[in-house]
Amino acid sequence: MASFALNARLLRRRFVAVFVLLCAFRSLSATWWVATNGVDSNSGASNSPFATIMRAQTAASFGDTVYLRGGTYFLEDSNFTVTNNPWAIVNNITKNGISYLAYPGELPVFDFSQTNPTTNRETAFLVTASSCVFKGFDVVGVRVTIQTNHTQSENFRIAGGNFNRFEQLRLHDGMGNGWYLTSGASNLVINCDAYNNRGLDSGSLGNTDGFGCHPNKTNQTGNILMGCRSWFNSDDGYDCIRSYAAVTFSNCWAFYNGYFTNFASSTGDGNGVKGGGYGLNGTNASSGTPLPVPVPRHLIEFCLAVHNRANGIYANHHVGGCDWFSNTSYRNGTDYNMQGALDDNLTDVPGYGHVMKNNLGFNGRTEVSELGTSNDVTFNFFSLPVTVTSNDFVSLDESLLTAPRQADGSLPYIAFAQLAGSSDLVDAGTNIGFAYAGAAPDLGAFERGLHAPPLLAMTLAGTNLVFNVSGGWAGGTNYLISSTNVALPVGQWPIIGTGMFDLTGNCSITNNFDGGVAQSFYQISVP
């Protein structure tokens, strides 16, 4: 065990520094208000709020903020604002530079379960605007009401919007894709959750992803999904099939996709992160045009794929290679499926042109499949002299995956899939330009030693010492160790108490106070 050696990866900010919204610099901005008790004929002031986002958009200008008060907004058929066959759209976001933000400390929920577009697909939010922000609210109950081949609806569809930011959104318990881009560049999706989304029939069940990013032009680069979670979606967790420009998935978690909540098969594809491909039909099926030139290289890094029905990490018949760095894939049908296609986009072949570094897999029905010889695959769990067992991990408790997010919206700091200090997977990787602790990067999505150590506070309660520990990994074991000789190596300090961090990373250990000892020193240690 190692004293104070807690592990988590710092959320990477590559590209984000240049993702600046111009509205932040507008000095003459206005603030508008939307509330469940609002009326669209109101002024939109805090004491006279609007009822709908669409009314607020009409009033707002570039640089303005629309605050969404907490409560549930029940949408009805009367809220459809435009029909753009085959879609019926409720919130048609066309104005640039407006921020739609949950009021601090409150949770707005937009409920679409009472909408019923009888002849159309449904889009809850269509975004063709640019430089907007959407933050801190839920979208639930989006419907699929028509049954045709590959019918789908969407919580969010981005169709031409650029430089938008989607943050701390929860898109869940409906029939539509969570977040879905068909056109647009430099959109950032950060710290969002998409879960329990399932289609209506065989067509939509196999077409309902948590997140889908499919830019349709080669210059639509810069779309990044970061710090997101996707689970119990009937098709895939993340999908970028037929993307004409490179997409980045960073620090994203995908689990239980391809299943209903009772773990019955949804009949959808059931992949965690689907990183490429063009439908294996010779053309881009959505437009009939040839493959993009060049075919993009997607980046999948520091992602976690757990118990997805089909593949955890999947190249999806991609033409050429992608970059796969520091991912962890656990208990999937196949943990890493690198299936490729020739540039005729007709002929399946083992994957080629991939660069894979520092990846980790464990307990899949198959660990690695369809990986050809013309790839750079040094420094992965399958190409190093390491053996992966359950003892390599601090915890494999999957219930931790849905732990509450941290106060700033970032992923929860959990013990699941964190490496134990004794594991030979620690420092087994290679330096590819990311922050790491120790002699070399670890294998997998979580780097041991980057997270700040836990804080230990001690109080005397009668004849007991009470040790309160904070800042640990949720669901992880910790040990209270003590010595009367501070110079003694920490590894030789005896364990005098054992604790378990709760879902907030806190723990309390009570130990009898020995008044006959002149002095004692205490530390918290983790596996």
- Order of strands, edge to edge, in the sheet holding 477-483? 2-3, 521-526, 477-483, 495-500
Q: Is the pLDDT confidence value at 250 over 70? A: yes
Rounded mean pLDDT, 334-363 = 97
Percentage of residues of the chain with pLDDT beyond 90? 85
Rounded mean pLDDT, 229-248 = 97
CA dihedral sign, ordered 470, 473, 475, 481:
negative
The CB-based long-range contact list for 434-437 (8 Å cut-off, 24+ gap) reads: 434/12, 434/325, 434/326, 435/9, 435/10
pLDDT of 17 reads: 38
pLDDT of 54 reads: 98
How far is the C-alpha of 520 from the C-alpha of 514, rounded, in Å?
9
pLDDT of 287 reads: 56
Q: Is the pLDDT confidence value at 300 over 60? A: yes
Across all residues in the chain, what is the average pLDDT? Answer: 92
Q: What are phi and psi of 471, to 5 degrees?
A: 85, 20
DSSP bridge partners of 291: none
pLDDT of 110 reads: 98
pLDDT bucket at 404, cuts 50 / 70 / 90: very high
Q: Is the pLDDT confidence value at 339 over 50? A: yes
Domains in the chain, CATH or no CATH each: 455-526 (2.60.40)
CA nearest to 269, candidates 342, 339, 328, 352: 339
- Order of strands, edge to edge, in the sheet holding 464-470? 455-461, 464-470, 507-512
Rounded mean pLDDT, 142-150 = 84
Q: Mapped to the 3 state alphabet, what secondary structure does 457-514 carry?
A: EEEEECCEEEEEEECCCECCEEEEEEECCCCCCHHHCCEEEEEECCCCCCEEEEEECC
Instruction: Map residue 398 onto helix, strand or coil.
Output: helix
Rounded mean pLDDT, 16-21 = 40
> Do 476 and 500 touch, CB atoms closer than 8 A?
yes
pLDDT bucket at 283, cuts 50 / 70 / 90: low
pLDDT of 2 reads: 42
pLDDT of 23 reads: 40
pLDDT of 147 reads: 79
pLDDT bucket at 439, cuts 50 / 70 / 90: very high
pLDDT of 331 reads: 98
Element (H, E) at 195: strand 193-197
Q: What is the pLDDT of residues 309-330, one digit of tens each?
A: 999 999 999 999 999 999 999 9
Q: What is the pLDDT of residues 450-486, one digit of tens each?
A: 999 899 999 999 889 999 999 999 999 999 999 999 9
> Do 456 and 478 touch, CB atoms closer than 8 A?
no
Whether the model pTM is above 0.85? yes
Q: What is the pLDDT of residues 82-107, one digit of tens each?
A: 998 889 999 999 999 999 999 999 99
Cα 53 to the chain's mean position, in Å?
26
| Greater pLDDT, 13 or 41 | 41
